[in-house]
């Protein structure tokens, strides 16, 4: 792990010293109040809180699924594959729901997959004991949560200028 960290350090030092901007930067004054403006928008606040709680709830099973699997009698060898299964299905869910989001609306896809995730977690994770329920849980959560993680950043800004910084006072 240390070797990978030093490899990253060396490569990032080289890239930071050699990359130049195509256009000269425009200095703008720093105003801390600009960061609080989005929280005054009524539609933004529940979405931001919902995103916070989704990631809080999503990371809980991700962190403890291997421990629970070993506690419930799954072999160490099989339990090591649970996160690999979750991440593999998460990769699949990046492609398909993005395509679906272009047709049905990104926010609609986010709401539906978040709803499915909120049903799957208590139904399969909390009540599931044994190999099969935990593998099914990891598969379903990998698919539904990967959708949220991949589409959430594309769904929030409603105007192009909000991609850089959300402002309540801009049209």
How is the chain split into domains, by residue range? Answer: 52-170
pLDDT at residue 169 tops 70: no
Could you report the per-residue pLDDT of 139-162, keeping only the tens digit for each?
988 888 888 888 887 777 655 455
Q: Which of 99, 91, 90, 109 is nearest to 155 (CA)?
A: 109
Element (H, E) at 122: none
Distances (CA, A) of 82 to 39, 149, 155: 37, 19, 29
| Under 8 Å between Cβ of 122 and 133 | no
Q: Is the pLDDT of residue 163 over 80?
A: no
Q: Which residues contact 95 (CB under 8 A, 6 or more apart)?
A: none
pLDDT of residue 162: 53
- CB of 125 closer than 8 Å to CB of 137: yes
* Residues 12-51: tens digit of each pLDDT: 999 999 988 888 888 878 777 777 777 777 877 888 888 8
In this structure, the dihedral spanned by the alpha carbons of residues 44, 47, 48 and 54, taken in order and rounded to 10 degrees, is 180
pLDDT at residue 168 is higher than 50: no
Q: Which pLDDT score is estimated for 171?
A: 43
DSSP label at 72? T
């Amino acid at each position: 792990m240390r070797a990978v960290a030093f490899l990253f350090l060396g490569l990032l030092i080289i890239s930071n010293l050699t990359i130049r901007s195509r256009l000269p930067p425009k200095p703008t004054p720093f105003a801390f109040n600009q960061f609080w403006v989005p929280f005054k928008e009524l539609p933004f606040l529940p979405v931001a809180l919902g995103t916070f709680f989704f990631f809080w709830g999503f990371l809980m099973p991700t962190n403890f699924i291997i421990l629970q699997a070993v506690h419930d009698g799954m072999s160490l060898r099989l339990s090591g594959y649970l996160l690999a299964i979750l991440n593999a299905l998460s990769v699949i869910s990046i492609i398909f729901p993005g395509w679906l989001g272009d047709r049905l609306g990104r926010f609609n896809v986010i709401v539906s997959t978040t709803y499915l995730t909120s049903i799957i977690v208590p139904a399969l994770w909390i009540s599931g004991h044994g190999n099969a329920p935990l593998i099914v849980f990891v598969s379903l959560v990998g698919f539904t949560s990967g959708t949220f993680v991949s589409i959430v950043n594309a769904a929030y800004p409603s105007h192009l200028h909000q991609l850089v910084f959300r402002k309540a006072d801009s049209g």
